[in-house]
Amino acid sequence: MNYNQICKPLMVVVFGLLIAALVASPALAGTKYMSGSPNLTASIAGSNEFTPGTTVQMKVLIQNTGLNTIKMVQSGIVDRDDVPSTAKMVKVTLGAGDAPVLIKSDPQMIGDIKASNNSQVPIDIRVRDDAKAGTYLVPLNIEYTYLADADQQGTDSLTYRYVKKDLQIELPFVVKSAINLDVLSVTPENINAGGSGYVTLKLKNSGTDAGMKSIAKLSRSGSSPVVPVDSTVYIGTFAPGQEVDAKFKVSVSKDGEPQEYPLSVLVSYENADGETLDTPSEDFGVPVGSKVSFTVTSPAGETSPGKKQAIEVTYRNDGAATAYSAEARISAVDPFTSNDDLAYLGDLKPGESGTAKFEISTASDATKKTYGLDSEIRYRDALDNSQISDTVKVPISVVTREGITSLLGNPVVLAVLLVIILGGGYYLYTRRQKKQDN
């Protein structure tokens, strides 16, 4: 018996056994839920207390506590894609109701929420500035769909029946007792780059509640060159509708430009419940004038080698503020020296000029050219703070002396003149002696 005669009957037997096994095996078991549905609840996550005049992101927690109470598992059932307790295509919409709020977020789709699960929905809201303290109810609308039934046709097809639900829930919303801050006006006083001054703010409580032990606090905004020196002013009781003036001292760095720079102010206070609260910061602009600067308007002073003389220098205040008790100082360097390098200019208003007189000695070997000597002006600002200007160059020209001045400055000529004078004196003396002897 050959190989084919043995294998062929064996293959027929195996194939038959496989067919018999497939016919005899039971169908795979499927799952069917006989009852159940979503049960959605909502609440505000965290604190539900909010302050008037603030914009916050309120988080609403949506929970699904639905259950599947009856479950059937048997052969011939086709598994469902969804279960009845799942809330599908959930859409959340928050309304204002009678609460003093503005809803800044649109309705939000948050997808499916399975049983025993939850989802947080962030919603931006603005609590009105004039909101009165109290508890309000804000309406929350939840739309969703769930699987109500699934009819099976035969062993391989299903017909789903979904139901759409529209759920209304009211959320407790608490507005705290609070004040609301408005900046009505900004009055600057002597605020210039490189100096100090004052800014007076007219503040108003435009809210409906009073603040106790109120303190106005001024703060720098970012990298602004305007920096508070005295940053707090005590107000006390800040009643609804009350207006108060708060005066702060500020300083401005030298690199400040003549323009407006931002500052921020808030009020810290105790509310009716004894809580210490801060109002939202209010930004405002402070105009800054140009720094006090000086320009030399006089022509270059002239001197000659080996000469000592007084030079006059006129300084003009090109800044936007008055320089009080101004004094000019010059720095004499080679080939110059000076024992009188300080001059009083007095008070110089913007655009006014003052003249300083310095005594300068020039070395005899000085090169004939125009030099620039450093000078600076020390002055006091409007708050009596001592200030020093930027360096101002003073031009001085070393020139050749001409005419009799040039001759008198020549050592040889001076020696000859001395000999002539001495000789003339001796001649007159001897002649007078001869006359006396005769």
Per-residue pLDDT tens over the stretch 26-39: 445 555 665 578 99
* Distance from C-alpha of 161 to C-alpha of 90, rounded to nearest angstrom: 17
Structural domains of the chain ordered from first start? 27-175 (2.60.40.10), 181-287 (2.60.40.10), 294-405 (2.60.40.10)
Output the six-digit token pair for 84: 């009845």
Output the six-digit token pair for 148: 């109500």
pTM comes to 0.62
Give the pLDDT confidence score for residue 26 in this predicted structure: 45
Burial of 159 (0-12, 13-18, 19+ CB in 10 A): exposed
Give the pLDDT confidence score for residue 300 in this predicted structure: 92
Taking only Cα atoms into account, the Rg of the chain, rounded to an integer number of angstroms, comes to 48
Weakly modelled stretches of the chain, pLDDT under 70:
1-35, 69-81, 150, 152-157, 401-414, 437-438
Give the pLDDT confidence score for residue 348 in this predicted structure: 95
- 176 phi, psi to nearest 5 deg: -75, 155
Give the pLDDT confidence score for residue 394 in this predicted structure: 95
Output the six-digit token pair for 100: 């003093």
Give the pLDDT confidence score for residue 79 in this predicted structure: 60
Output the six-digit token pair for 212: 């106790």
